[in-house]
Amino acid sequence: MSSVTELGYLGLSISDIEKWKAYACGIVGMEFVDEGEGDRFYLRMDEWHHRITLHVDGGDDLAYIGFRVAGPNELEAMAEKLKRAEIAFQRATEQEADERRVMGLLTTADPAGHVVEIFWGPQVDSHKPFHPGRAMFGRFLTGDQGMGHVLIAHTDLPAAIRFYEILGLVGEAEYKFTLPTGETIRQPVFMHCNARQHSMAFGLVPPGKRINHLMIEYTNIKDLGLANDLTQARNIPIAKHLGMHTNDGMLSFYPANPSGWAWELGWGGQQAQPQQEYYTYDMFGHEPGPPEYGLAIKSTPPR
Ligand code: FE
């Protein structure tokens, strides 16, 4: 049985590269890589060639999600699984694989139409030390937990779960929130494929966007504090203020990015649990910011 092993890379459509550079490198700490292509730039978080490609095409949204499998045999096994499930996919040409800096990949789409790429063999530039975009106390937590997690738009949650189960992820809804209207919602859904508590989540998304947030995790709490200071010093809107989630125990806040959605910067996440449970509140903090980022639900209890 082939299964994806990590959230490996993301493609993002953007419009303002200078603002993105100031955000992703100057505040968050990623390394900026310009290989002179003109229409795209890369963000590095570790020894990989990149974890994020910024495509300057004005889309200001998620372009594609890259999930890794171990090697070529696992990619073949994944292709067989998709075929059996009657999910359409295309095998990439060598040129397309080169573009993504991987040895091989196939492209498919999930039930909401998000482009999902399944790849093996990323280019790892071990010869080139990671050089953060601003001074860092520690590093980004990647390795066998992948680059982080994403929360993406899905209206048919059971269909989304079925699709990502075929890829090898496991999970279900982990919260029941009561809205101000009195309605109770069973979401978001959280799914994992390695020790990271979740690599993928579905639910609550700003109107008109495919993605709600990308979470990346620091190894040192001081980098989270510094990012929080820098965000406020540069008057970047905060979609959800510093607080702690219950399901992954992560201390995090959500600075809005220049494309009008949020990143979640976190520290101290717990690992995936073998059995499901659900929560009705986050631990503390996470005061909602402006509503347009789809994170305006108050997730902590009244004190
Ligand atoms: Fe998150």
The CATH number linked to 98 is 3.10.180.10
CA of 215 to the centre of ligand 1 (A): 5
Q: Residue 61 Cα, ligand 1 centroid: separation in angstroms?
A: 17
Is 225 inside any structural domain?
A: yes
CA of 289 to the centre of ligand 1 (A): 15
Residues 195 and 114 in one domain: no
In the prediction, which pLDDT does 39 show? 96
253 within domain boundaries? yes
In terms of residue numbers, what domain contains 166? 143-293
Distance 281 CA to ligand 1 centre (A): 14
Instruction: Please write the tens of the pLDDT for every residue from 217-255.
Output: 999 999 999 999 999 999 999 999 999 999 999 999 999
Range in 20-24, 45-49, 242-246, 294-298 the model is least confident about: 294-298
Distance 276 CA to ligand 1 centre (A): 17
Q: Tell me the CA–centroid distance for residue 131 and ligand 1, in Å.
A: 25
**From ligand 1's centre to the CA of 128, what distance in Å?**
30
CA of residue 83 to ligand 1 center, whole Å: 31
For 125-182, write each residue's pLDDT tens digit. 999 999 999 999 999 999 999 999 999 999 999 999 999 999 999 999 999 988 888 8
Q: 98 C-alpha to center of ligand 1: Å?
A: 30
- Are residues 57 and 147 located together in one domain of the fold? no
Is 162 in the same domain as 272? yes
Number of helices followed by number of strands (H, E) in the chain:
5, 19
Are 101 and 150 contained in the same domain? no
Greater confidence (34 vs 203) lies with 34
Same-domain pairing of 113 and 243: no
Query: Is the pLDDT reported for residue 205 higher than 70?
Result: no
Q: How many domains does the chain have?
A: 2
Calculate how far, in angstroms, residue 223's C-alpha sits from the geometric centre of ligand 1: 18
Domain boundary residue, one of 122, 153, 169: 122
The answer on 33 and 152 residing in a single domain is: no
Instruction: Say yes or no: 33 and 154 in one domain.
Output: no
CA of 89 to the centre of ligand 1 (A): 28
Residue 107: inside a domain: yes
- Under the banding of pLDDT at 50, 70 and 90, the label for residue 203 is confident
* Mean pLDDT, residues 68-94 taken together: 98
Residue 71 maps to a domain? yes
> Same domain, yes or no, for 148 and 266?
yes
> What is the pLDDT at residue 193?
98
pLDDT for 143 equals: 97
Question: 3-state SS of 76-135?
Answer: HHHHHHHHHCCCCEEECCHHHHHHHCEEEEEEEECCCCCEEEEEEEECECCCCCCCCCCC
Q: Is residue 237 part of a domain?
A: yes
